[in-house]
Amino acid sequence: MSLTGTGFFAALAAATACAVLATLLLWSRIPGPAPARWLARVVLIGLCQVTAICVVAAWINTSYGLYASWDDLLGRTGGSGPVAMPGPPPDRARFLRGDAGMQQTYVRGPRSALSGQVMVWTPPEYDEPRFRRTPFPVVMLLHGIPGSPQSWLDQGHMPADFSKLLRTGTTHPFILAVPVINPGGMDTDCSDIPGHKIATWLSTDVPDVIRQHFRTGKGPRSWGLLGISTGGYCAAKLPLQHPGVFGAGAALDPDPLNGAQGALTDPVLREHNSPTWLVAHTKPTQTDVGLFLATSRQDRSSPPSLIEQFEQAAAGSGVRLRTMLAPAGGHNYNTWISMYPAAFSWLSEELTGPGAGQGQGQAPGGREQRQEVAPPGPGAGPGPGPGPDEDVPPPAADRQP
């Protein structure tokens, strides 16, 4: 039973109700001498308190994504260290129906030699007869650490919240892809290091398996990223390292963009894989991407000062940058969910709609736009339009010293 699943929470709530009911029914019916009766009553009271505390703890964990699984809670790493369990290659991967209309598979990437879970959701338009031959744009959702792809469903309310935005016209009908960003349990801040090429997994292997099984656009303006926390850090850096794959990245409360407190132990490698260093060394002729960076004044894990530092580094890079500063909100899913409308609306400006001209996009005017407002509610978004696909060059390798 999943630690963050509805079934586990419902079982705890039922156990609490049963403990309270048993206490009420047995309180005056416990046999035996007085000391034994009082001891039994104390046990019943303790049982009520323990089950009630478990219900509250499970609710807090599910709401804030503190622990994604039982192994995460118990600190189990599955042996001597992270390993990539074997899986089928992309062409033999089988997508099975899961929760909330998601299709999921477990696949081994031939380029990265890593294996992991990939979940995919297609919008209602994908199955409509008028779109049966139409390629759709893709947004990859990158979870935080600790976290897992399932966190987007349990705490991030996906794809239900995205469907609401879709119905109001706030966003294009994107295919949502949710890969694991730390296959084998190894966190590298989505960077390639010897033995763990996670940037390759996310920029090559995951897009390949999605392209082989779904109708997707071919150009970078058909592929975007949206990430939270560590996933937000990855959503900011991967378009800079792989502009031939991703045309846009939206980072919600990203980890420090300068690489401080990052997962990589080598300080030089950590700096050279940080979004701030990458954008400072990006030339206008090298990339054609857009980035959306959002945080709140109250988020100590993603302070506004680091986004301002990134803005300064991005000057002259040619990267289309938009920032948003919310007046309140902590480093949690409540804050990130409130940012969905602004993030998906912006992604719909940067990326093309179903069947639109791949690689052309709809770039907003100017290099940099800034908002300092509360996350907006749903608004009108651009609609799809027909157009041909275009081939794109292969992704560039990660920059390393």
Residues 41-50 pLDDT 10s: 999 999 999 9
Q: How deeply is 311 buried, as exposed, middle or buried, from its count of CB atoms within 10 A (0-12, 13-18, 19+)? A: middle
Q: Please choose, from the candidates 221, 271, 236, the residue with its C-alpha nearest in 3D space to the C-alpha of residue 382.
A: 221
What are the structure tokens assigned to 8, written together?
């586990």
Residues 298-343 pLDDT 10s: 998 899 999 999 999 999 999 999 999 999 999 999 999 999 999 9
**How many Å apart are CA 213 and CA 96, to the nearest integer?**
12
pLDDT band at 72 (very low <50, low <70, confident <90, very high): low
Q: Which residue has the tokens 């030089």?
A: 268
- The per-residue pLDDT for 382 is 44
| pTM check: above 0.75 | no
Residues 180-189 pLDDT 10s: 999 988 899 9
* Sign of the dihedral through C-alpha 335, 336, 340, 346: positive
Cβ proximity of 159 and 198 under 8 Å: no
- pLDDT exceeds 60 at position 224: yes
* Sign of the dihedral through C-alpha 240, 143, 350, 253: negative
**How many Å apart are CA 88 and CA 115, to the nearest integer?**
8
What are the structure tokens assigned to 134, written together?
């139409």
